[in-house]
Amino acid sequence: MSLQQELDDFMAGVRTQVPAEVLAPIEHFYATELHAPGRFPNVLREGHLAPLFELPDAFGQDVRLDTLLQQGPVVLSFYRGAWCPFCNLELRALQKVLPELKALGASLVAVSPELPDYSLPMVQRNGLEFPVLTDRGNAVARQFGIVFALEGEIRRISLEVFQVDLPKFNGDQSWDLPVPATFVIAPDRTVRLAFFDPEFRHRVEPQAVVDAVRSAVR
């Protein structure tokens, strides 16, 4: 089964449990408002140079992009947080292709603004064998041009209905999030794959990631 089919099946289950009047403003926000022209003018695309960064993983160890690139291509997956079931599905799907990525000499890292206190249990629960990094204040995600804010009714629904308390989870007072996005970065820092879709239920297929890495090492 494809990852997208898993995501679609999960969403179908959500629709049986969450009232339509709750889902409607969420779907409008993600499917329409975040797709407005010029909404993400600085998002990195294929051919751009990826910015270098250093971030701590869930165990407190610093991870540097330039160090990883010395070993081969890097798959960089931005996700919203451990509270997001769609992100959990994606990260588990990427874990399944990790052996293929390693065989190609590539590294896989995932990044979210979430504090290690919340990301570490997710790492352990999902059996993730790749670094999960904390991007405080979405500093790196901003460099990739993928940050947006939850505001108004969407913020209220997130907090009151789904108990998603971003200031608590992320350790700041903002309600900023990264759009889930995946980048394949060649050793020369060139972006070889840039999957970016503000609709949070749409994620890149792991096989497309493997194919992009294979192309980057030719």
Residues 6 or more apart whose Cβ sits within 8 Å of residue 5? none
- Backbone phi, then psi, for 178, in 5-degree steps? -90, 145
Average pLDDT score over residue span 178-206: 96
Question: Which of 85, 62, 78 lies closest to 9 in space, CA to CA?
Answer: 85
The predicted model scores a pTM of: 0.95
pLDDT band at 203 (very low <50, low <70, confident <90, very high): very high
pLDDT at 68: 98
Mean pLDDT along residues 20-41: 93
Predicted pLDDT at 2: 97
In this model, does residue 218 exceed pLDDT 80? no
pLDDT in tens, 82-136: 999 999 999 999 999 999 999 999 999 999 999 999 999 999 999 999 999 999 9
Residue 18 in this model has a pLDDT that exceeds 90:
yes
d(CA 164, CA 177): 12
pLDDT at 31: 86
| Arithmetic mean of pLDDT, 132-143 | 98
Distances in Å between the Cα of 51 and the Cα atoms of 147, 190, 191 are: 15, 10, 10
Percent pLDDT > 70 in the chain is: 100
Please report the sign of the dihedral spanned by the C-alpha atoms of residue 21, residue 23, residue 26, residue 29: negative
Cα(193)–Cα(15) distance, rounded to whole angstroms? 32
Answer whether 79's CB lies under 8 Å from 110's CB: yes
